[in-house]
Amino acid sequence: MLFIQRRTVYLLLVISVGQVLLISAQVQSKSGLPLLEALGVGVFARIQRTTAWVADGTHDLWAHYFALRDAAVENDRLRERVIELEGQIEGQKAFVTRTQTLEAALGLKQTAVVETLTARVMAGSPSPDSMMVTIDRGADDGVEADMAVIAAAGVVGRVVNRPTSHTAQVQLLVGRSAAAAVRFERTGAGGGNAVGFAGDPPLRLEQIPNLADIRVGDRVLTSGLDGIFPPGFLVGTVERADLANAARRVVTVRPAVDFSSLDVVLVVTTRPASAVK
């Protein structure tokens, strides 16, 4: 009995919904469309707008993501290219510097009246007591002990010890035990010896003649009297000339050569006349 009553209720509900749908299909909305159709169109329009909004948002999100990702990749590539170019520029600078140094050395070799041998500095010693560098020329190239070594700017030092077949040690003029006989370009008078010491500038004059006329800015040249350095090569420039006290005269010389950046040097294979027996 109860089952029959439920079926009756369900049937009435279905009939009622059907009548409502039939009435809605006949009743027109303000737009002139049947009400049921208008409701369906509205619902589907809302669904379409929502779907389009979600789709557009997703598309924009992915588009921006990939755009940013591509930009990041491009930035990384450009950064690598910049580093590569900077490295090439530095390499070109180094090449130009080395070429200019070599050209200057070769130019000096052409104008010098002595025979020279071009050599490249291989290594150096930081000790102020030794102040030595090693060059890539040795006994097989005709290098001997006590040969003078110069650069385009001026005097570097002398070969010490016995050279090996393809290398030799050079004592820099600014070393504490190094020395070179000098004269002054302005007066032509002898100026004693230029010796290295731990100071700034790192050269000073010893055994200065009593009547020496020395002024700040005077160019100091080799005299050749030591039998090692040929005469006429630039040693440096007088930076301090304190001659007031005859018992304690101080003359310091700024070297012409920058010893911190030696690259190409010339070994003087011609001995000074005073050294030739």
Span 158-183, pLDDT tens digits? 999 999 999 999 999 998 889 999 99
3 state SS for 131-184: CEEEECCCHHHCCCCCCEEECCCCEEEEEECCCCCCCEEEEECCCCCCEEEEEE
Helices (H), the chain: 2-26, 35-111
Average pLDDT of 93-108? 65
Residue 82's φ and ψ, nearest 5 degrees, are -60, -45
Q: Of 108 and 127, which is predicted with more confidence?
A: 108
pLDDT score at 181: 95
Query: Between the ranges 27-31, 71-75, 98-102, where is the mean pLDDT highest?
Result: 71-75
**Whether residue 105 has pLDDT greater than 90:** no
pLDDT score at 29: 45
**pTM, full prediction:** 0.64
Span 8-54, pLDDT tens digits? 655 656 565 555 555 544 544 444 445 445 455 455 556 656 665 65
**Whether residue 100 has pLDDT greater than 80:** no
DSSP string, 246-261: TTS-EEEEEESS-GGG
- What is the distance between the terminal CA atoms of the chain, rounded to a whole angstrom? 150
Least confident of 80-84, 160-164, 209-213: 80-84
Average pLDDT of 211-226? 92
pLDDT score at 83: 61
> Tell me, what amino acid is at 7?
R
> Where do the structural domains in the chain lie, given as residue ranges?
32-111, 116-275
Span 225-268, pLDDT tens digits? 999 998 989 999 999 998 877 667 889 999 999 988 888 899 99
Q: How many CA atoms lie within 13 A of 229 on its CB side?
A: 28
User: Which top CATH class is 116-275?
Assistant: mainly beta
Distance (Å, whole) CA 74 – CA 66? 12
**Banded model confidence at residue 92, pLDDT cuts 50, 70, 90:** low
Distance (Å, whole) CA 275 – CA 225? 9
Q: Of 176 and 113, which is predicted with more confidence?
A: 176
Q: Of 136 and 69, which is predicted with more confidence?
A: 136
**Whether residue 123 has pLDDT greater than 90:** no
Strands 168-172 and 179-184: unpaired
**Contacts made by residues 108-116, CB under 8 angstroms, sequence distance 24+:** 108/150, 108/151, 108/152, 108/266, 109/266, 112/266, 113/230, 114/230, 114/268, 114/269, 114/270, 115/268, 115/269, 115/270, 116/150, 116/266, 116/267, 116/268, 116/269, 116/270
Least confident of 24-38, 75-89, 91-105: 24-38
Return the percentage of the chain with pLDDT > 90, whole number.
35
pLDDT score at 27: 46
- Mean pLDDT of all residues belonging to the chain: 76
Return the percentage of the chain with pLDDT > 70, whole number.
56
